Amino acid sequence: MGTRARNSLLPTFGKALAVVLLLVWSLGPIYWALATSFTTPADLVSKVPHFFPPEVTTEHYARLFGGSSVSQGNTVQSVWPEFSAALLNSLLTSLAATILTVAVAAFGAYAFVRLRFPGRDILFILVVATMAIPAYTVMIPLYRLMISLGMIDTYVGITLIYVSAFLPLALWLMRTVYQTLPISLEEAAWLDGAGRIYTLVRIVLPLAAPGLIAAAILTFLNAWGQFIVPLVFSPTLATKPLTVLIPEFVTRNYVDYGLMNAAGILAIIPPVLLVIFLNRYLVSGLMAGAQK
């Protein structure tokens, strides 16, 4: 008993150390961004490192939200008009892409699993194979196509591009979900005279809810973080999202790290909330998406 306790002490200590290391590596930079966003500009450029803001300030956030604010004695114009427009654009395009992708995948994947129709397997393989093709490969012709359709800098254009980029993963995910559902429930419904669509909507989809949530989270996170697509297709604030706006704070007179970290912190709130409240679905989605 005594040797056993001694033997397990070292591994336990090592394990604890590894856990701390993993936590610091994963969350440390986020903490640093948070601390920076509450640090005064003077303290940001002080020679003494501060791991906690010596003087907590909300002036960076005030510049994002307020009308105008005072920084280092000067009145600084607020960036709220741009910031709010970009925030709205990010939310609208990501949510629209999520809803559309999950809806198309929910019905499409069901067809791939349960319905027989000509070209089913080849279509599924083709669509899933595009997961290996990065969106960048098709971006240039897509740009010309969107110009000819007049869909540059429109919500519809951006949303459709997102759907085309994230649909394969959602389809793959939903197919694995449907494959694990027993068909006996559907057969029972059919025997009772229920139609295909009624069965799918009332019986299958509720059972597949965890999968639908996972697909929705993955799509939303991918859309929310997208950069190169809006960089090309969203030239103005009409559809420009946060990911494109925030780096533009650099190209002003000087690099305003306080402001950028504050904006960054705001931009990571939705993803962080998803991780905190829905991490079970997120992890299962990532695991299913990575199988085979």
Between 52 and 75, CB nearer to another protein? 52
Helix-, strand-, coil-residue percentages of the chain, each rounded to 5: 75, 5, 20
Between 75 and 290, CB nearer to another protein? 290
- Considering only residues 90-109, where is the footprint of another protein by CB under 8 A? 104, 107-108
272 interacts with another protein by CB under 8 A:
yes
Between 26 and 75, CB nearer to another protein? 26
Between 76 and 231, CB nearer to another protein? 231
Distance, in Å, from the CA atom of 228 to the CA atom of 243, rounded to the nearest integer, reads 9
Q: Fill in the per-residue mask, 138 to 157: x = in contact with another protein (CB under 8 A), - = not in contact.
A: xxxxxxxx------------
- Considering only residues 52-91, where is the footprint of another protein by CB under 8 A? none
Q: Tokens at residue 17, please?
A: 């150390």
Q: Taking the complex as a whole, how short is the minimal distance between the CB of residue 66 and another protein, in angstroms?
A: 22
Q: Taking the complex as a whole, how short is the minimal distance between the CB of residue 255 and another protein, in angstroms?
A: 9
- Considering only residues 174-203, where is the footprint of another protein by CB under 8 A? 183, 187, 190-191, 195-197
Between 22 and 70, CB nearer to another protein? 22
279 interacts with another protein by CB under 8 A:
yes
163 interacts with another protein by CB under 8 A:
yes
Distance, in Å, from the CA atom of 65 to the CA atom of 69, rounded to the nearest integer, reads 10
Select from 62, 215, 219, 264 the one that contacts another protein (CB under 8 A): 264
Q: How far is CA 127 from CA 96, 120, 209, in A?
A: 21, 11, 23
Q: Taking the complex as a whole, how short is the minimal distance between the CB of residue 26 and another protein, in angstroms?
A: 5
What sign for the dihedral angle of Cα 36, 41, 42, 46?
Answer: positive
For residue 224, which of 249, 250, 242 has the smallest C-alpha distance?
242
262 interacts with another protein by CB under 8 A:
no
**Number of Cβ atoms within 10 Å of the Cβ of 258:** 24
Burial 27-59 (b: 16+ CB within 10 A, else e): eeeeeebbebbbbbeebeeeeeeeeebeeebeb
127 interacts with another protein by CB under 8 A:
yes
